[in-house]
Chains A and B, each alone.
Chain A
């Protein structure tokens, strides 16, 4: 079984400040981790993923995420937030072990609000 927890329903930061959106996961095999963003009335857009290699992953729109195996975390970060970053963010996991189910398991989402 696999699961994702996003402990914060909402995160608010001031424009120009760094932001962090937290995610922890549970998976029996190798974790493949993804971040998606959802703008109002639109589908999910892929931001970045961790499959293997460097623990710090860089993605779209200046976002990055750090994989921490010991803490089973994959927090999303950005050094300087923009008002346009305000959206709903989802963390997702799937088990990369051969033969495992292919569907993503999503967290419940974190609403990020960047204040001008």
Chain B
């Protein structure tokens, strides 16, 4: 497909378990972003990848959160020892490059529910 894809679309897990969320950006997009959207709230920035540069991790809420990106393609967001407050929709976005004027294209999100 031409857009950003994310998997799984829904994930239900038990408190304390680890989860891994996947994002496939638009082909050729060098910049990739992860955001978290809690129910009824706006988006919170988590992490940003640009090419081979060191990622901007300034938005990660705790050391339980980590993310990786393979080159300029797939990214995975890992949450270890999940807590109930981690329940949210996790959105991935990509853009042509990291330039401030380029819009971001969002995937449909992964809805995470921690029981």
| B-binding residues in A (CB < 8 A) | 4, 32, 34, 36, 41-46, 49, 51, 90, 92, 94-96, 100-109
Contact = CB atoms under 8 A, between A and B. Distances in A.
Contact of A43 (B4, B31, B100, B103): B4
Contact of A32 (B41, B98, B101): B101
Nearest to A103: B45
19 contacts: A4-B42, A32-B100, A32-B101, A34-B103, A43-B106, A43-B107, A44-B91, A46-B105, A49-B103, A51-B101, A95-B100, A96-B101, A100-B100, A101-B56, A103-B48, A103-B56, A104-B43, A108-B42, A109-B42
A51 B100 CA distance: 9
Interface residues on B, range: 20 to 34
Contacts of A34: 103
A104 B45 contact: yes
Interface of B: 4, 31, 33, 35, 41-43, 45, 48, 50, 56, 58-59, 91, 93, 98, 100-101, 103-109
B106 to A, nearest CB: 4
Given A43-B91, A108-B41, 11 more contacts: A32-B101, A41-B108, A46-B103, A46-B104, A46-B105, A51-B101, A90-B43, A92-B43, A102-B98, A104-B33, A104-B45
Contacts of B108: 41-43
Contacts of B33: 103-104
Contacts of A41: 108
Contacts of B106: 36, 43-45
Contacts of B50: 102
A103 B57 CA distance: 11
A34 B108 CA distance: 19
Given A90-B42, A107-B42, A49 B58 contact: no
B42 A43 contact: no
Nearest to B58: A101
A102 B100 contact: yes
A104 B91 CA distance: 13
A102 B48 contact: yes
B59 A103 contact: yes
